[in-house]
Homo-oligomer: A and B are copies of this chain.
Amino acid sequence: MKGETTIFFNKVSIIGVGLIGASFALALREKNLCGTIVGFGRKEENLKKAKERRIIDDFSLEIKRVCEDSDLILLSTPISLFKGIVENIRDTLKKGSLLTDVGSIKGSLVYEIESQIPPGIFYIGSHPIAGSDRSGIDDARADLFKSALCIITPTENSDTEAMRIIATIWERIGAQVKFMDPYKHDEVYAAVSHLPHIVAYTLVNTIGDIDSEFIGYAGQGFKDTTRIALSSPELWRDIVVYNRDNLLKLLEVFEKNINDIKRLLEEADSEGIKELFTKAQELRRRLR
């Protein structure tokens, strides 16, 4: 492993070969950043398919074999499995190896992983903002991270050289890196990602409560607003439960805002409603 202008990893381990893990493998390969890529997962069939498609060079259902002698290990399973996996592999990891993850949750989870890792192994958390409502390898592609944000969450304990290398990997595969405190990360993504998922799921369930047949009349607006309600319930259940403190605070604010609209509607206060809609439109325009 070198951290100068060239970076190259002889062996890379992808723990969890789904949309993100497989795209990371394809991107590393495309940019000639690695030698062998070995995958681990729970479903042999999926790993076989990933090997056939040359996303990974090899795989094993024994995680220790996958991580043995590895230079870079990517955790790309659901976040609830991270601690168990690290517990399992911690004594197998080679001195000097780098460990990162792609989880949507950072905060205390980053510190817990840090505390599990033996000295001489370097862990730095990452979160590429490149998810989708899809989660399998069928949608994996080498350019998934192109122009995507990738949040890197070092702590006061992080090795700066390791941090620099992790940032470089993401940049090489096209991402725009930003550094952020792990707890701040969870506060920000509770707002711009986790709350929207809760809202989208809830919006769909509200239609279901009224009359599920109504959904057949929906247009593009509804489709876009609720696209993320197609996302994996297991994955998002884990995320929102981990981040529940931030989410509970946000839901209070969201409910207050819904109540404001209700009050304005009850009073048929057109001006007040227009003001709220205009405020939202202006803020949303920053993202055009």
Contact = CB atoms under 8 A, between A and B. Distances in A.
A219 B148 contact: yes
Interface in A215-247: 215-231, 233-234, 236-238, 240-241, 244, 247
B286 A241 contact: no
Nearest to A201: B280
A242 to B, nearest CB: 10
Interface in A230-288: 230-231, 233-234, 236-238, 240-241, 244, 247-248, 250-251, 253-255, 257-259, 261-262, 265-266, 268, 270, 273-274, 276-281, 283-288
A32 interface: no
Contacts of A215: 192, 283-284, 286-287
A149 interface: yes
B205 A279 contact: yes
Contact of A274 (B222, B237, B259, B280): B237
B203 A218 contact: no
A268 B245 CA distance: 10
Contact of A227 (B207, B225, B254, B257): B225
A16 B59 CA distance: 62
Nearest to A189: B217
Given A189-B217, A222-B193, A280 B244 contact: no
A27 interface: no
B202 A188 contact: no
Contacts of A277: 201, 229, 233, 236-237
Contacts of A253: 206, 209-210
Interface of A: 129-132, 148-149, 151, 178, 188-189, 191-193, 195-212, 214-231, 233-234, 236-238, 240-241, 244, 247-248, 250-251, 253-255, 257-259, 261-262, 265-266, 268, 270, 273-274, 276-281, 283-288
Given A277-B236, A281-B231, A196 B203 contact: yes
Given A149-B217, A196-B222, A237-B274, A261 B202 contact: yes
Contacts of A203: 195-196, 199, 254
Contacts of A193: 218-219, 221-222
A137 to B, nearest CB: 19
A207 B248 contact: no
Given A231-B281, A234-B274, A258-B258, A200 B225 contact: yes
B274 A219 contact: no
B192 A230 contact: no
B219 A191 contact: no
Contacts of A201: 261, 276-277, 280-281
Nearest to A269: B241
